[in-house]
Structure 1
């Protein structure tokens, strides 16, 4: 999350946050039952609602972080693909399925299809369209390996 957003939020709502913390402290010290936790939750929800943070904003932030993380992983996978192309091992079977493995990357596809499944360090990055980079990786891995039939 962006630290500037949090900084602005704290600057604009510091008084409400301090009051909420004091009330929470009093509730935690005076109330000794399950009602205590209900009051704590109500106070936290009230501060969040008062601050203007909506579930939609939280969802947007989560989606932005997820998209950024996937983009970073795809970029890392492309870099690994280029660096480890010389170590890539290509195997295929009679049905036209192929697998390319390197120490950190695994790519699975089928001959004639325009997409491949890519995994980086065991984490699936989904299906990728066969771009020039991917095609060059596949070609180099075929050249590195004596293409084997069957697994």
Structure 2
């Protein structure tokens, strides 16, 4: 949707939006359960659907936000790899697996495999290839000790 359409909707439906915001504040203030978040999500979805957004539009927005957040975390993890490599602790396990830990990162993998699992500040970022220059340099620095 263009900015003009959104502004037109806001001008025409400002009263509905004001009521929705007041109801949201009341729900968040008084309810302390999961029901609170169900009601909040329901109100937001109701206003969004009323404004002309479809569930597909909303799911695209959610997917885009999720992908952007994950990419930002991956970028931060790569920067942390560069900065924290000298403090990394390498641990080789008897079953052929290994782990490398720093204050913010944890990398786990199996010997002779190309992929490692990366967690940054407790959030799993999925698997990354050992062929990635940053991951490779991080692992080489960690195993030097």
Q: TM-score range by the shorter chain?
A: 0.7 to 0.9
How many correspondences in the alignment? 123
Q: Please identify the structure whose Cα radius of gyration is greater.
A: 1
Unaligned runs of 5+ in 2: 24-41
User: Hey, what's the Cα distance between the residues in 1 that align with 2:125 and 2:93?
Assistant: 23
- What does residue 37 of structure 2 align with? none
- CA shift, 1:82, in A, is 0.4
Change (3 A) 1:112 1:12: same
When residues 10 and 86 of structure 1 are mapped into structure 2, their CA distance, relative to the original with a 3 A threshold, is: same
Compared CA separation, residues 106 and 48, structure 1 to 2 (3 A): closer
Partner of 1:102 in structure 2? 102
Q: Counterpart of 2:9? A: 13
Unaligned 5+ segments in structure 1 are 29-40, 145-151
Greater length-normalized contact order (CA 8 Å, ≥ 6 residues apart): 1
> Structure 1-normalised TM-score?
0.70
- Deviation of the 1:15 alpha carbon: 4.3
Using the size of structure 2 for normalisation, the TM-score is: 0.72
> Structure 1, residues 4-57: CA drift from partner, whole Å, max 9, x if none?
96x6444211343135469x69xx9xxxxxxxxxxxx89x84x64453211111
